[in-house]
Chain A
């Protein structure tokens, strides 16, 4: 029996079965009704793959790996249960990075193992180290930016492109040396590998540092894709199909998300990666022609307008996450509905710091997912909406995207809140959004600014409704 469980045919069939579970799991993740079961299906695929691997007779010693598995289990359980929903982007970035470094280490372990690697394996090792290294350090920088350990502003190095291309060239030379072992560089294969690791880590930092806070959804999705490609590449190192299949699925899904995010900003991927958007555009503030004045409103007056409204559209942005206002937002929504008003939420794909960030926060606050709408669904109905409440969103509601050809965000699909009868804008102060550009929405005739912390402002509205 044991020998059957260790036979190559059984092991490989089990890996195929695990791949099927991953495929079904991902499929089920694409619909809210089946998503939770889908995740479990995919997790059971992973469990099968791990158990079958542990039973293989290639594994001769268990002490180290059991210690590492236990450690990882504890850290994973603690991290996933303790993290606040508002910190989810950081955690996803960190997990991505861990996946990347794990693939890199698999490549390294295979390289320093004396049983000689084939040419194909050497190529695969090089790619795994390259992608894994970029994923790891890139994710750590993304983590730092998202948790505000380092500044979220785009950091542009002098001669960024030159440094990047030089480093890419160096890694290419190192990879050639690793594969062909010409000895022309005068260093051993191991030294070449370690230098390559160093170079890839710097590359990851340089590729992520120039990207501003508002572009983080793209970066996170892209790093997610990289972590899959690294795993897929590691599959070529150890000649294992399940790594190739699972890694490729993740790589493809990450690329699709990246593409959706880029489309939502009407920008190309290379523009996001190398454009240094926020830094460059603040200099080209050509919107000096904006006329009008900011009209503040008190919470009491805002309440009176809301009380008379028949339809309200809530447009959340990163500011809602910062002030953790999602629970009071839901409370206000319920009070409005009790008052006979129709309440919807419009969520821009790049609102927040990762794809779907706002949806997660509103789900945490118990908002039903069927009242969460996308810009394309709400924009045609905008003229019929009495009040739009913009909570800490800025660039995704900027009318310049439609009206001002000189604006850096011209052409970006936005939520056209200025077409509603009245727009409330909840904002701390008159500071510009993360893209660093002016927003003429604040000066429109039908706009009213409700200054202050979003959570406090909405709490005041809620208590007005209750009295």
Chain B
């Protein structure tokens, strides 16, 4: 695809997602602010997709090594983020 057309498409996706995000989160009760934050934080670990491609791709040794460190940090973010959110949410009970 022509790179300008691709850029427009990606920007389109970006703008719509930001609006969607505002709509989704708008009415979160304050009880859930921490789990929402740590759950969202885990989602931001999606950068692991880019990290995996850099670490396992056909780059130079240095780009592969940098990518490998990215995988390490992103996977802590993903695994730790989801687990700790789950641990918190397990405690939220109504009696």
Given contacts A109-B63, A120-B7, contact A96 B41 (CB under 8 A): yes
Known: A76-B75, A250-B40, A355-B30. 11 other contacts (CB 8 A): A23-B24, A30-B27, A58-B57, A60-B56, A69-B75, A79-B84, A83-B84, A102-B47, A112-B63, A359-B33, A363-B91
> Cβ of A105 and Cβ of B33 under 8 Å apart?
no
Stretch at the interface among A40-48, A295-303, A395-403, A429-437: A40-48
Q: Would you call the interface of chain B mostly helix, strand, loop, or mixed?
A: helix
> Cβ of B40 and Cβ of A254 under 8 Å apart?
yes
> Cβ of A80 and Cβ of B56 under 8 Å apart?
no
Chain B interface bracket (under 10, 10 to 19, 20 to 34, 35 or more): 35 or more
Given contacts A36-B86, A248-B21, A254-B37, contact A242 B46 (CB under 8 A): yes
A341–B4 alpha-carbon span in the complex (Å): 67
> Cβ of B21 and Cβ of A68 under 8 Å apart?
no
Mark out the residues of chain A between 214 and 254 whose CB falls within 8 Å of any chain B CB in the assembled complex. Answer: 220-221, 224, 227-228, 230-232, 234-254
Shortest distance from the beta carbon of A407 to any chain B beta carbon, whole Å: 24
Residues of B within 8 A of A96 (CB): 41, 44
| Nearest-CB residue, chain A, relative to B6 | A239
Shortest distance from the beta carbon of B50 to any chain A beta carbon, whole Å: 4
20 CB contacts below 8 A, A to B, read: A29-B28, A29-B32, A50-B49, A53-B48, A64-B65, A65-B68, A68-B68, A80-B83, A95-B42, A103-B47, A109-B66, A118-B3, A120-B7, A220-B37, A227-B41, A246-B44, A248-B21, A253-B24, A260-B33, A363-B91
Residues of B within 8 A of A240 (CB): 49-50
Shortest distance from the beta carbon of B64 to any chain A beta carbon, whole Å: 6
Residues of A within 8 A of B41 (CB): 92, 95-96, 99, 224, 227, 250
Given contacts A42-B43, A224-B40, contact A347 B68 (CB under 8 A): no
Mark out the residues of chain B between 34 and 79 whose CB falls within 8 Å of any chain A CB in the assembled complex. Answer: 34-60, 62-79
A356–B90 alpha-carbon span in the complex (Å): 15
